[in-house]
Amino acid sequence: MAHDSHDSHEYVPEIAVDRNGKEHVVQGWQGDFDGAKLGFWLFMLTEVLMFGAMFMTLTYYFTLHHADFIHASSELDRTLGGINTVVLLFSALTMGLGLLKMRSGDVKGAKLMIWATILLALVFLGVKALEWTNDYNEGIFLGLETMQAGGGKSFGEILFFGMYFTMTGLHGFHIIIGIGLMLWLLKRINSKKVSPEHHILHFNIALYWDLVHLIWVFVFPYFYMTGAGAIHG
């Protein structure tokens, strides 16, 4: 029992005794590594469902407007998209290495790897911005006249680009959130709140980053590659 109301939430290990006198450790909410891991996996599940609903919508319209989708897809820049895929896969590698270093006690190396991940994430966003600017100049962007009904594009193309900006936009938003999380993680490492013995935050952010790159691994072929073989013009 807390003696005053303003103490910290420190965990006092507790034992429950059964009728045979055998002792059982009581799990508290404080410092529960497995609980925090489970919670974050469940959160990842909600992300999968959210993007899953969008992929489902996309698939539905792909069957309705097959040729339009392929044609629209062929207009996307596969070089920039491909570069971004490689950048993001590398960032997943650096993130994973960072976690390994943290676990093995190399805090300095872990921080270096997190910085590398942030750098790669920024490169990804830069390339994305360049790509969107090019699209904009070609009259492909949300809300432009050319993207309305009767603006020269077919239904399928409007839908394709509409979903393209929605999904890559939402993915980009996740990248930005991820950068914020990593900066926060670095702050927590510097203040010794995250350490090799207590690295659940690092673990969960690495998990998050894996999901972000995993979503891109599906986004890339779906948007960029479906029209890769189409004859342009």
| Per CB under 8 A, 217 contacts other proteins | no
Q: Cα–Cα distance between 72 and 131 in angstroms, integer? A: 15
d(CA 92, CA 128): 18
User: Would you say 29 or 233 has its CB closer to other proteins?
Assistant: 29
Among 98, 156, 172, 227, binds other proteins (CB under 8 A): 156
Is 16 an interacting residue with respect to other proteins (CB under 8 A)? yes
Question: Nearer Cβ to other proteins, position 10 or 197?
Answer: 10
Which one of 56-64, 101-109, 183-191, 207-215 is the stretch in contact with other proteins (CB under 8 A)?
Answer: 56-64
Q: How far from 112 is each of 35, 102, 115, CA to CA, in Å?
A: 28, 11, 5
Q: Name which of 34 and 197 has its Cβ closer to other proteins.
A: 34
Give the interface segment with other proteins, choosing from 17-25, 91-99, 116-124, 180-188 (CB under 8 A).
17-25
Q: Looking at 78, 80, 109, 166, which residue binds other proteins (CB under 8 A)?
A: 166
Q: Which residues pair with 24 in a beta bridge?
A: 16
Helices (H), 65-154: 66-74, 78-103, 107-137
- Cβ closer to other proteins: 114 or 175? 175
**Do residues 230 and 74 make contact, with C-beta atoms less than 8 angstroms apart?**
yes
Please check whether residue 124 is in contact with residue 91, taking contact to mean a CB–CB distance below 8 angstroms: yes
